Structure 1
Amino acid sequence: MTSVQGTVRLFAPETHEGSVLLDDGSDVPFDAAAFAAGGLRLLRPGQRVRLERDASGAVSLVTIVTFTSLG
């Protein structure tokens, strides 16, 4: 599995599908299963997320990026 970060470009609340714009400019779609795997209830455009991709490159998990304090 590989992990990448990006910004939510589109999200459809009725289908739980959307796409994320990666830092390199790539637009990566995700499906309802990847959204559900992250335990999320809603996403909004502009929100920062982390994507996990399986061996085939398909997005398998979408989670919100959180920041932790060091110290």
Structure 2
Amino acid sequence: MPTTDEVELAMQRIRAWQTAYVDMIETLPYPIFVERRGRMLMCNARGRVMLETLDADGDAAARRVLTIVH
């Protein structure tokens, strides 16, 4: 069974991977949307700009993009 220190180290590594993943997505020159089970979890700066250009509130814009994707 893992020790508390091992679990803490594993969680730190997971957080570092998540940060690196988000940082990489932010550098891409086109909109990126990450969704799970039909719910938008995050998007990069280009994705946020795209959502803002849609004539809808934030939730409606996200649903519209997810509909297009599906």
Shorter-chain TM-score bucket reads: under 0.3
| TM-score, L = length of structure 1 | 0.23
| TM-score, L = length of structure 2 | 0.23
Q: Which structure's residues are more often strand, by fraction? A: 1
Structure possessing the higher radius of gyration over alpha carbons: 2
